[in-house]
Structure 1
């Protein structure tokens, strides 16, 4: 029980280049797990161990590592997952946050809140993950701590609790002032920041510290009833009482504690580690997990205890050349030992665990057992995929699976050498099993193998993996956009399907209303309004299945329909000739006719482009955005540069990063994020259809 109380499962989340990996690296160094500092620019960090990550200087795959940190007479076990910041690899953030208990959101003090900052924050809110904020890179030119805090509050609609303020900024950044202890902290350069000095607050900071600390205590009192009693008694609060109140507020997600520093300059990381232990939850701080019993068909809960029935969730599947398939799991309850067996709630197959592995980035350490709260790898489980629940053999239990986004871009690929064809198929299968946002399919019309993903970089990285890891060279076509189709209006249609020429015939009669969804969601919204049993109950699922199948290929150019609403209100059957598959066929045929009556528009993926460039290149950038059918939403100052936020069709962004670099003489950057599907302009759609 004590071990679980002091266990922290946390993720490091941020926009690309905010310093996540450097923060993680410093955490591992100061906790004693590593004895030499690595840097992203040198390609020698622990969590970016993949050669492509070292080469590109970005995190591609979420990386798990476990360490220990002693503070205030407590030893904390900390499982850290360093997540990617690039939008093309957002699925790695999604599946990490699905199983984590807390998160450290890292922001660049110069760039502030950026587009992917919003995405990862939204993903963490989706899973109700408590967070602390770390404003990094206070040593950067243009760093502005208070401006970044204001952006966090405005963008995310949250209240922040400033626990520290910086001493200086940019080249003048020296250390931080702890508002709780009222001490100035300065780190020693001679030992790479392993030690620091606590001194009195500099005189020119005394007023701002008094104002900020008073405001902090007011905010805590406003959010926490227990602390409010102490506050009203007007006593001098102990640091322990303040920290306990901040912890309660953080766990309830009422506010976000904020710290600051410069991980690269080795300033401020130890207080961040302290904050992880003090304020972020242990598994026991969270509610019991809720799942579904597929046999009883009832909702059940399980406590997050080692004494509970075993329940594990598969959040990632890896293929290792030495040990084969490795399932990364979060063990929510119970204990696992080598030789134990589970039931896979999705396949109903028995899975036996041969080994349990603790992942330390690119290293693997054998474990004698795993307990509730642990994040570990299981060897021997052969038929699992991401999102599976593994539960006790006689006690099936299903946790909510992870929802993966649809790919937005595709490439036609083929092996360069005929001898690689079998190896090519096996390699693609392994890649797709490891990365659920990567799809592989064969075009029925051309016979080409299509590689579908979340962006150019995503596909580029996976193709490089084919070459480096599997030794397969490929030929590739031009990237293609994954469009969607959408019904324009609602119409009513009757479809009569019958084939009665002797023998066992076919007959199905359905009347339905079909049109776009009212809620703008994706997928099929099917409403059964059949009265009096004119269509037997057992045939209704066949009608729904028929519409679902029809949506996959649309009617205009064969792209899937984004979302539609179908209301089945009348129909008929034949006493002997009606079967379930007849109603499925009727729905498919009826859809194609009714969809043309309703009208179809073509939708294309629109990206949010965030372009940062020196002011002298602003005209070139805005002109280029306009040429790409882009819409500029805003232009603002950012770190002595100009930040352009624009909506640009995905089709117009191929090769965009290189173009921006060319237009700005290498001084501009761009990040792209999927925004929404919007109608293709009529003149362009007509050309595509023609």
Structure 2
């Protein structure tokens, strides 16, 4: 086994320095020959016009590069993901296909809300992690404070592999705790790493943290525990390194390194750690899926000789090459000209070209193998989350979860001439980003675009203008409210129509009301006995209720959760049909739901604001004005950190309002916390 491929992602909160770090990784691996900077808008990964102008990553970029450690050359596929919560689906689909992630933290801001989000997303996928504490040169940088936060806020076990030499303006280098050497970066480009003896004043700290590292390894790795406890055995660098590999791959504890990507310090040791401690695809457990026809579990080994399985995690529409499907190959291999199966649609098609992505450049390759991330051209009808497999051994892998949108705007093209291409462009954009929903308002005929946040929609409309030349008029943002029933009742609904020949007949008695703990979706309980309603009509009753939930009784918003218990009923041997029972369920819902004290629910955002002391009063008053609840006010690196919950409806324009309020001295981040009941005095003022 060669074990020489690593599939890694870079995750973090907005502005922790992910893209800058990726740029340095590409520079030191020799893929690019000039270092780009986010502030100058010339980075390799942010190739979109908006990404450059806004200084943020919007869509996850993929790039393949190589790093040589010792005599061995490793292929590293890197995906740089967005840090903004509005692009959570980009992070989710990247994490779904990656084996490991480098979590980047700002040394002065520490663990921020979006860091927590992406960290727990990575946990859900069982991804191996390494932490990189960046911006050690920044004012307020505190490596040890961030170590503590990783432990308390992320419930992780951090293992420092390095400690910094100095901080802020005095950050000079790092001490490698395994090799017990001080590393300094002497030139501006950081290419020359000089090893020296550990400075006298840092020897005690080095001993302390090296001992902590070994104790953690002994706690989480049995073989290392035996070596560590055996006083006759000397612990070698190799032993520590091997134990670190095992612990990192099991996810029990996480290695932590530090540096300053912007100042080109600390990047090469991070590359060494990536290839040393992260698993190769072949070292992971077998891939599991199901046979799309029989539903039986299918298990495939992650090697080239196994039959093909791969997941399309992204669809990109490229100006020059058309539709590109980004594919992570889990097992087997594909060659140009092979016929493969889309397990979702059941259709087979021929692979025309296989491309290796070098961010904005592409390289044609003949073969894609297990562990590779490639782009395929000419794949029709493929969507994010589709499985491609061998025709003779179909497998369906777990799809990618797409979060539900929370905000929508009405949109229309500014000019009539754009009317035709407007629909086509919206369809393209929706293909690329499945978290966007486009629908027509049945009452007004307007086109509604829904997304995960204000910035998400803003970026989408800007993309339509910049990439497709369509100017759009937009309405005011509207919140995607939900409805919920707060009381239960029993209702009988009878449908009986005679219109010559066969009539229509359905009769159902059901209890309708809220689910326990307001769990999501429809809970349908069938208590019909003795065949009073034939079994083949029961699914139609359920279907009727499921469809009726889309329009709540209060203002027509979807119902968040509902429990229906089908108690009794009757049918007519000639006149009853499945559709009659579906209609009876819909009519019964409309009549009964109004009587179950329906209430409106609104999305509530978890908000974190960082500001300076003098604006505390203004920020607090503003949160209260927005119907917000302050959960805590902490101090971090000389700044005030407010944690609050604010209804989404009150957050429109919050970012620019806050800048005005604090003369640009505050930053804000938001994520969806939960849905909560809308106060009656607000609900009465809302129109659909």
TM-score range relative to shorter protein: over 0.9
C-alpha deviation, 1:154, in angstroms: 0.7
**Equivalent residue, structure 2, for 1:92:** 90
**What corresponds to 1:182 in structure 2?**
180
1:574 to 572, 575, 583: 572
Q: Deviations over 1:275-332 (max 9, x none)?
A: 1111111111211111111222211111111111111111100111111111111111
Deviations 1:657-683 (A, max 9, x none): 111111111111111111111111111
Q: Which residue of 2 aligns with 1:217?
A: 214
Alignment of 1:262-341 (within 5 A): 262-341=260-339
SS of equivalent to 2:130: strand
Partner of 2:106: 108
Partner Cα separation in structure 1 for residue 166 and residue 33 of structure 2: 30
Match of 1:396 in 2: 394
Question: Which residue in 2 is equivalent to 1:547?
Answer: 545
Shifted more, 312-321 versus 341-350: the winner is: 341-350
Question: In the alignment, which residue of structure 2 is the partner of 1:432?
Answer: 430
- The alignment covers a number of residue pairs equal to 687
Aligned to 1:43: 41
Q: Distance in 1 between matches of 2:5 and 2:525?
A: 47
Which secondary structure does the structure 2 equivalent of 1:468 belong to? helix
Q: 1:667 to 1:427 in 2, by over 3 A?
A: same
Deviations 1:477-513 (A, max 9, x none): 1111111101112322222222134311111222222
Instruction: Report the RMSD for the aligned CA atoms in angstroms.
Output: 1.2
Q: Alignment partner for residue 658 of structure 1, among 656, 678, 682? A: 656
CA deviations 1:442-492 (Å, max 9, x no partner) are: 101000111111111111111111111111111111111111101112322
TM-score using structure 1 length: 0.98
Alignment of 1:79-228 (within 5 A): 79-190=77-188, 192-228=189-225
Unaligned runs of 5+ in 2: none
For the residue of structure 2 that corresponds to 1:40, the secondary structure is: coil
Q: What is aligned with 1:675?
A: 673
* Cα distance in 1 between the residues matched to 2:652 and 2:235: 58
For 2:367 and 2:584, the matched residues in 1 are separated by 55
- Corresponding residue for residue 563 of structure 2: 565
> Is residue 64 of structure 1 aligned with residue 62 of structure 2?
yes
**Aligned equivalent of 1:532:** 530
8 A Cα contact 1:65 1:81, kept in partner: yes
Instruction: Tell me the CA shift for residue 351 of structure 1.
Output: 2.3
Q: Does 1:368 align with 2:372?
A: no
Separation in 2 of the partners of 1:376 and 1:344?
16
Q: State how far apart, in whole Å, the 1-side matches of 2:183 and 2:41 are.
A: 30
Q: In 1, Cα distance between the equivalents of 2:134 and 2:213?
A: 21
Task: Provide Cα deviations, 1:206-232, integer angstroms capped at 9, x if missing partner.
Answer: 111111111111110111111111111
**Deviation readout 1:603-646 (Å, 9 max, x if unpaired):** 11111111111110111111111111111111111221111111
User: In 1, Cα distance between the equivalents of 2:509 and 2:204?
Assistant: 75
Aligned ranges for residues 351-500 of structure 1 at < 5 Å? 351-500=349-498
> CA offset at residue 519 of structure 1?
4.3
Q: Tell me if the contact between 1:629 and 1:648 (Cα under 8 Å) persists in the aligned partners.
A: yes
Q: What does the per-residue CA deviation read over 1:324-361, in whole Å, with 9 as the maximum and x for residues that have no partner?
A: 11111111111111111212111111222110111111
- The CA deviation at 1:586 is 1.4
Q: Distance in 2 between matches of 1:527 and 1:153?
A: 44
Secondary structure class of the residue paired with 1:41: coil
Question: What is the CA distance between 1:588 and its match in structure 2?
Answer: 1.2
Unpaired stretches in structure 1, ≥5 consecutive residues? none
SS at match of 2:602: strand
Tell me the distance in 1 between the aligned counterparts of 2:490 and 2:214: 62
What is the CA distance between 1:689 and its match in structure 2? Answer: 5.8
Alpha-carbon contact 1:351-1:380 (below 8 Å) kept: no
What secondary structure, in the 3-state scheme, does the structure 2 residue paired with 1:273 have?
Answer: helix
Q: Which residue number in structure 2 is paired with residue 230 of structure 1?
A: 227
1:108 and 1:188 map into 2 onto residues whose CA distance is 23
Counterpart pick for 2:604 among 573, 592, 606: 606
- Partner Cα separation in structure 2 for residue 689 and residue 472 of structure 1: 30
TM-score normalised per structure 2? 0.98
Cα distance in 1, alignment partners of residues 279 and 509 from structure 2 = 54
Taking the aligned partners of 2:338 and 2:536, their CA distance within structure 1 comes to 41
Offset, 1:196: 0.8
Secondary structure, counterpart of 1:189 in structure 2: coil
Q: Is the 8 A contact 1:178 1:184 kept in 2?
A: yes
